[in-house]
């Protein structure tokens, strides 16, 4: 464990961009965890007297049409957005990798069957598919998570499958067989861990995409409902006011979204370096 | 070192065949191969790319199933156990392999310790962590791997060190048969000598039989007792190594020996093969596989597939013009 | 007594260093040798000896992190080290050619082989556009590729390793260069193919009085094929001698060990020598003799600057205590 931490410090120190991304990620996690206690105002408290006030000393991000403090709402929304995207990506990763490595390793009908299921998912424009799933299953946050997870499964499956197929015939896999390992064990302990480094990059890119996806669904009214603070609906609400000049209502949640996606994209490389033993000196 | 009198036969392969479907036909990778390996002896297997030695190796180590023929190990039929289930067979621990490419044959995420410990943990008889660790250290010492290197990953080890890890892993379960697939081709010549001597010493000390696959005839001459020459899936010659190399019976063996660089034969015009090998896909069962490239072929070679015929000293050649 | 002939290629004190994150690697240090018109010179060494770096330096195709820090390489009156890209471009492919180790990867995988030869002809040879295809097919036939008309349109992946190497030779010889640099041309090929390829190179070289610089780790191959051999260790030239003399009576301790480690010469496995120690780390401060820590003959006088002793006419050793 300490070796991992030491290696972690090395990775972060080596590449300043990764260090920056990691710092940003830590900030996001802190805000998600401790947000409700850090913010100056109650994100749900409306105060029509203070409605539509631009950024000022009292309200750093201004207030929205119901007089709610935007800073508080943006910060508290971090928790919901982060949770949705992390849960969705974890589910997609677990299901997708399992499907991909199984298909890639066993080949034959297993591979073909899994392939057809994946093709079906990918045949739809993914966002439309997500919309369809949420509409069919019901308008809840849990369903946004499932929908986002489902549409992301093919990426992991395809990646895992090709990584496994490349390594399937490698000497060390034959050696594992000779040592008495059987199929499932070889998959889990020998093949899959070697496929992880490229998947790390995919995971982190995916996190960013999942946030956008969730925000997008909320933007069109699916999933999260007012008054819950969530970056997507906040941008939707803000969009209506841009024309009349109250730019801050949509801009700040949008900027938060952008920052989160940016952070996850940069984090990808760093995560891969952390996992890949070849980067250890 | 010649074997006289009765020797106990460890590996007995009879009429082994392996075909692969290719397009509308069949690729005959291994065709009617029979061989024996006795206890404690080192048998060399030579042949060039496409001769089927890699497939034969996979069949013998039971990573692949034969399409016909028998494989018996220490009297038991192991060819009948499907490769997918062989991991749990009692013979699994007794047949092991050392690979050619030390980089490719070690899991990049496993330390040297984990690599050597893996077979012990999987097939060793109920050992605790302490016993495993002791055994790994014992093996590392046997193969000359400094204990300090056990915690390293493959990319932190040199070629020779990686190969030692591979050897330690292979002997961990005290196998009776070790297949060595070009164990030194990827190493520098200075390291090669050390590894070859190590392998020889281990064989004598632990009483293991070797199947030594190599394209380097000079090395085979030094390490093997007997040699098997393969061409396009069939065995064309076999016998005690000194006899076969001094007096090759099959024209292909002669061509192989003539291709080995020999500084003392500078400037001499030597025997060379011409033409392309015949196709291994749906080969005719009545035409000798070497016919066409053979300098000595005649009409019988087209009608009748030659079979191995042995002389008194155990030197067998599959050629109509020999014996 | 007439003056000695001006060598075709005269390499003097060539030094190359690589800038890496871990420090400056002194890959080559004052490498000197020459190649006469029409002769075959072998450069022999283990991995890390600098033999491939030397070849790449001559053609100036080194990695961007490399720098030729010292020395000259005079080829036909032009110093390759200081030549402009333009002048160098005129030489490469026309007077000075190279073939590489892995034939299939050295060819453009998405271009038919015949067209690749045609490209060279168009760029360098004074061949009219209309004649280019015919000339390319002629070249394919010259390197003994069967059915050259049809093979003109083949892609590298459709050809065997040996055939790809022949195509590369055709490419390199298209404009009848006066010097061919062959970097491990037969490593990875079957031994019979290797013999055929070496025969081909020698035959074509004799026909056009082309000089060859053969880079290989296989000392036996070099001793068989070359007129003279340059032995390298850790970026130094340690011995230069006629092939036969070098193999039979090596004068540098490293060469002697290399010869003893070659399986070819040994009668028994026990005779095979290992070379103790490993390559020195080529970064930072290095002793004048880089073999010093592995040498059994070390004496305090070996700490002096590395000498070049001509023990016999044409036989040079870089050693204070030659054998």
Q: How many CB pairs under 8 A join B and C?
A: 99
Chosen for mutation from C263, C270, C273, C277 (greatest number of chain B CBs closer than 10 Å) is C263
- From chain B residues 214-243, the ones with a CB under 8 A of any chain C CB are 215-219, 221-223
- Asked if residue B2 has pLDDT above 50, the reply is no
- Residue C46's nearest CA partner among C211, C202, C206, C219 is C219
Residue carrying the six token digits 């002669």:
B254
- Residue ranges in chain A whose pLDDT is less than 50: 281
Give the pLDDT confidence score for residue B115 in this predicted structure.
95
Average model confidence (pLDDT) across chain C: 89
Mean pLDDT of B111-133: 89
Return all residues near A97 (Cβ < 8 A) that are at least 6 apart. A156, A157, A160, A192, A195, A199
Q: Are strands B234-240 and B316-317 parallel, antiparallel or unpaired?
A: antiparallel
Predicted confidence band of residue C153 (pLDDT cuts 50, 70, 90): very high
C-alpha dihedral, C80 to C86 to C89 to C91, nearest 10°: -50
pLDDT tens-digit series, residues B47-82 = 988 888 999 999 999 999 999 999 999 988 998 888
Predicted confidence band of residue C274 (pLDDT cuts 50, 70, 90): confident
Q: Which residue has the higher pLDDT, C277 or C303?
A: C303
C-alpha dihedral, B134 to B135 to B137 to B138, nearest 10°: 120
Q: Is B166 close to A174, i.e. CB distance below 8 A?
A: no
pLDDT tens-digit series, residues C105-123 = 889 999 999 999 998 888 8
Q: With contact defined as beta carbons under 8 Å apart, do C99 and C81 qualify?
A: no
Q: Is B262 close to C264, i.e. CB distance below 8 A?
A: yes
The reply to whether A116 touches chain B by the CB within 8 Å rule is no
Six token digits for residue B147: 């204990």
Chain B residues whose C-beta is within 8 A of a chain A C-beta are 61, 63, 84, 87-88, 92-93, 95-97, 99-101, 104-110, 118-119, 122-123, 153, 155, 166, 169-170
Mean pLDDT of B226-250: 93
Give the pLDDT confidence score for residue C1 in this predicted structure.
52
Q: Greatest CA span in chain B, whole angstroms? A: 68
Half-sphere exposure of A192 (CA within 13 A, CB side): 19
Provide the shortest C-alpha distance from residue A104 to chain B (in Å): 17
Which residue of chain B is at minimal alpha-carbon distance from A192? Answer: B109
Give the pLDDT confidence score for residue C251 in this predicted structure.
93
- Asked if residue B228 has pLDDT above 50, the reply is yes
Give the pLDDT confidence score for residue B191 in this predicted structure.
86
Q: With contact defined as beta carbons under 8 Å apart, do B233 and B280 qualify?
A: yes
Mean pLDDT of B232-256: 92
What are chain A's partners, defined as 3 or more CB pairs within 8 angstroms? B
How far the first Cα of chain A sits from its last, in Å, is 16
The reply to whether C244 touches chain B by the CB within 8 Å rule is yes
Chosen for mutation from A179, A183, A196, A198 (greatest number of chain B CBs closer than 10 Å) is A179
Hey, which bits of chain C come out as E strands? 9-20, 23-35, 40-44, 66-75, 78-79, 96-99, 179-183, 211-216, 228-233, 236-242, 309-312, 315-317
Which residue of chain C is at minimal alpha-carbon distance from B253? Answer: C192
Helix, strand, coil percent content, chain A, rounded in steps of 5: 80, 0, 20
- Which residue from C194, C196, C224 is facing B266, i.e. has the nearest CB? C224
Provide the shortest C-alpha distance from residue B122 to chain C (in Å): 35
Return all residues near C279 (Cβ < 8 A) that are at least 6 apart. C46, C48, C49, C234
- Residue C49's nearest CA partner among C275, C265, C249, C227 is C275
DSSP helix/strand/coil, B141: helix
| CA dist., res. C189 & res. C200, Å (int) | 14
Q: Is B218 close to C194, i.e. CB distance below 8 A?
A: no
Provide the shortest C-alpha distance from residue B121 to chain C (in Å): 34
DSSP helix/strand/coil, A193: helix
pLDDT tens-digit series, residues A117-162 = 999 999 999 889 999 998 898 888 888 899 999 999 999 999 999 9
Give the pLDDT confidence score for residue C41 in this predicted structure.
96
Q: Is A180 close to B99, i.e. CB distance below 8 A?
A: no
Chosen for mutation from B54, B64, B96, B109 (greatest number of chain A CBs closer than 10 Å) is B109
Least confident segment among A127-136, A167-176, B19-28, C275-284: C275-284
Give the pLDDT confidence score for residue B6 in this predicted structure.
52
- Residue A253's nearest CA partner among A228, A278, A223 is A228
Give the pLDDT confidence score for residue C246 in this predicted structure.
92
The reply to whether B266 touches chain C by the CB within 8 Å rule is yes
Return all residues near A277 (Cβ < 8 A) that are at least 6 apart. B108, B109, B153, B155
- Check the CA dihedral B187-B188-B191-B192 and report its sign: positive
Mean pLDDT of B246-273: 85
Give the pLDDT confidence score for residue B1 in this predicted structure.
40
Q: With contact defined as beta carbons under 8 Å apart, do A28 and A78 qualify?
A: yes
C-alpha dihedral, A24 to A25 to A28 to A30, nearest 10°: -100
Give the pLDDT confidence score for residue B3 in this predicted structure.
47
- Asked if residue C233 has pLDDT above 90, the reply is yes
The reply to whether C220 touches chain B by the CB within 8 Å rule is yes
Q: Is C193 close to B200, i.e. CB distance below 8 A?
A: no
The reply to whether A6 touches chain B by the CB within 8 Å rule is no
Six token digits for residue A278: 């070849």
Return all residues near A95 (Cβ < 8 A) that are at least 6 apart. A149, A153, A156
Predicted confidence band of residue B5 (pLDDT cuts 50, 70, 90): very low
Q: With contact defined as beta carbons under 8 Å apart, do A204 and A267 qualify?
A: yes
Q: With contact defined as beta carbons under 8 Å apart, do B250 and B238 qualify?
A: no
- Asked if residue C21 has pLDDT above 90, the reply is no
Beta bridge partners of B13: B35, B71
Q: With contact defined as beta carbons under 8 Å apart, do C164 and B239 qualify?
A: no
- From chain A residues 146-185, the ones with a CB under 8 A of any chain B CB are 170-172, 174-183
Six token digits for residue B198: 């190590």
Q: Which residue has the higher pLDDT, C308 or B323?
A: C308
- CB neighbourhood size of B107 (10 A): 24
Give the pLDDT confidence score for residue C238 in this predicted structure.
94
Q: Is B107 close to A278, i.e. CB distance below 8 A?
A: no
- Residue B196's nearest CA partner among C260, C269, C259, C258 is C269
């Amino acid at each position: 464990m300490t070796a991992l931490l030491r290696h972690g410090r090395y990775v972060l120190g080596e590449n300043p961009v990764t260090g920056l991304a990691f710092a940003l990620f830590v900030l996001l996690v802190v805000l998600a965890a401790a947000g409700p206690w850090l913010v100056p105002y109650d994100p749900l408290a409306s105060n029509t007297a203070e409605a539509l006030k631009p950024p000022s000393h009292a309200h750093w991000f201004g207030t929205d049409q119901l007089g709610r403090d935007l800073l508080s709402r943006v910060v508290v929304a971090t928790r919901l957005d982060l949770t949705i995207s992390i849960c969705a990506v974890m589910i997609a990763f677990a299901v997708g990798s399992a499907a991909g490595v199984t298909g890639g390793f066993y080949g034959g009908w297993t591979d073909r069957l899994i392939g057809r299921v994946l093709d079906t998912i990918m045949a739809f424009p993914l966002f439309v598919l997500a919309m369809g799933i949420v509409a069919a299953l019901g308008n809840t946050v849990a369903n946004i998570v499932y929908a986002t997870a489902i549409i992301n499964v093919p990426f992991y499956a395809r990646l895992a499958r090709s990584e496994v197929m490349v390594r399937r015939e490698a000497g060390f896999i034959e050696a594992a067989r000779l040592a008495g390992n059987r199929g499932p064990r070889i998959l889990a302990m020998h093949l899959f861990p070697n496929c992880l480094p490229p998947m790390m990059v995919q995971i982190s890119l995916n996190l960013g995409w999942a946030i956008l996806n969730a925000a997008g669904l909320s933007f069109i009214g699916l999933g999260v409902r007012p008054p819950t603070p969530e970056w997507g609906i906040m941008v939707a609400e803000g969009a209506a006011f841009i024309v009349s000049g109250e730019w801050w209502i949509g801009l700040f949640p949008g900027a938060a979204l952008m920052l989160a996606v940016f952070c996850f994209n940069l984090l990808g490389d760093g995560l891969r370096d952390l996992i890949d033993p070849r980067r250890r000196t | 070192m010649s074997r006289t009198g009765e020797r106990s036969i460890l590996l007995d392969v009879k009429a082994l065949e392996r075909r692969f479907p290719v397009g509308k036909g069949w690729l005959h990778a291994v065709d009617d191969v029979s061989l024996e390996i006795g206890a404690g002896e080192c048998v060399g297997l030579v042949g060039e790319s496409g001769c089927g030695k890699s497939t034969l190796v996979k069949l013998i180590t039971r990573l692949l199933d034969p399409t016909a023929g028998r494989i018996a190990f220490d009297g038991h039929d192991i060819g009948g156990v499907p490769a997918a289930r062989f991991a749990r067979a009692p013979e699994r621990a007794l047949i092991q392999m050392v690979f050619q490419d030390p980089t490719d044959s070690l899991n990049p995420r496993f330390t040297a310790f984990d690599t050597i410990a893996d077979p012990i943990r999987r097939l060793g008889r109920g050992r605790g962590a302490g016993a495993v660790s002791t055994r790994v250290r014992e093996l590392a010492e046997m193969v000359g791997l400094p204990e300090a290197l056990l915690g390293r990953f493959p990319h932190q080890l040199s070629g020779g060190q990686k190969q030692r890890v591979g050897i330690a892993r292979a002997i961990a379960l005290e196998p009776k048969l070790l297949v060595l697939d070009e164990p030194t081709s990827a190493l520098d010549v200075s390291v090669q000598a050390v590894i070859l001597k190590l392998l020889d010493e281990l064989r004598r000390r632990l009483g293991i039989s070797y199947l030594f696959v190599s394209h380097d005839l000079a090395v085979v001459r030094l390490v093997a007792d007997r040699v098997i020459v393969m061409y396009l899936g069939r065995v064309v010659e076999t016998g005690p190594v000194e006899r076969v190399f001094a007096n090759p019976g099959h024209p292909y063996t002669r061509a192989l020996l003539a291709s080995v660089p020999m500084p003392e034969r500078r400037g001499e015009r030597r025997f060379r093969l011409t033409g392309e090998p015949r196709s291994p896909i749906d080969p005719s069962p009545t035409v000798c596989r070497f016919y066409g490239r053979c300098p000595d072929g005649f009409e019988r070679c087209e009608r009748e597939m030659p079979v191995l015929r042995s002389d008194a000293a155990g030197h067998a050649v599959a050629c109509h013009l020999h014996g | 007594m007439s003056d000695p002939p001006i060598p075709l290629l005269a390499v003097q004190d060539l030094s190359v260093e690589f800038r890496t994150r871990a420090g400056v690697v002194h890959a080559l240090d004052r490498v000197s040798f020459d190649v006469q018109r029409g002769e075959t010179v072998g450069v022999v060494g283990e991995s890390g000896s600098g033999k491939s770096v030397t070849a790449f330096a001559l053609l100036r195709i080194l990695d961007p992190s490399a720098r030729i820090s010292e020395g000259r390489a005079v080829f036909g009156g032009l110093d390759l080290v200081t030549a402009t890209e333009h002048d160098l471009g005129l030489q490469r492919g026309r007077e000075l050619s190279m073939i590489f180790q892995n034939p299939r990867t050295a060819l453009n995988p998405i271009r038919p082989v015949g067209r690749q030869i045609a490209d060279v002809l168009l760029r360098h040879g004074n061949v009219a556009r209309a004649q280019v295809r015919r000339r390319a097919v002629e070249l394919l036939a010259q390197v003994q590729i069967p059915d050259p008309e049809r093979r003109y349109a083949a892609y590298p992946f459709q050809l065997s390793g040996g055939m790809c190497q022949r195509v590369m030779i055709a490419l390199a010889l298209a404009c009848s260069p006066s010097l061919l640099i062959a970097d491990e041309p037969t490593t990875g090929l079957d031994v019979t193919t290797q013999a055929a390829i070496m025969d081909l190179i020698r035959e074509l070289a004799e026909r056009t009085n082309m000089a060859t610089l053969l880079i290989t780790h296989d000392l036996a191959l070099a001793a068989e094929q070359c007129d003279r051999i340059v032995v390298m260790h850790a970026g130094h030239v340690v011995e230069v001698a006629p092939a036969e003399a070098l193999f039979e009576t090596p004068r540098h301790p490293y060469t002697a060990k290399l010869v003893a480690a070659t399986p070819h010469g040994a009668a028994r496995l026990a005779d095979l020598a290992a070379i103790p120690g490993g390559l020195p780390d080529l970064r930072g401060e290095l002793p004048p003799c880089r073999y010093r820590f592995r040498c059994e003959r070390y004496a305090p006088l070996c700490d002096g600057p590395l000498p070049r002793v001509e023990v016999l006419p044409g036989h040079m050793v870089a050693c204070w205590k030659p054998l």
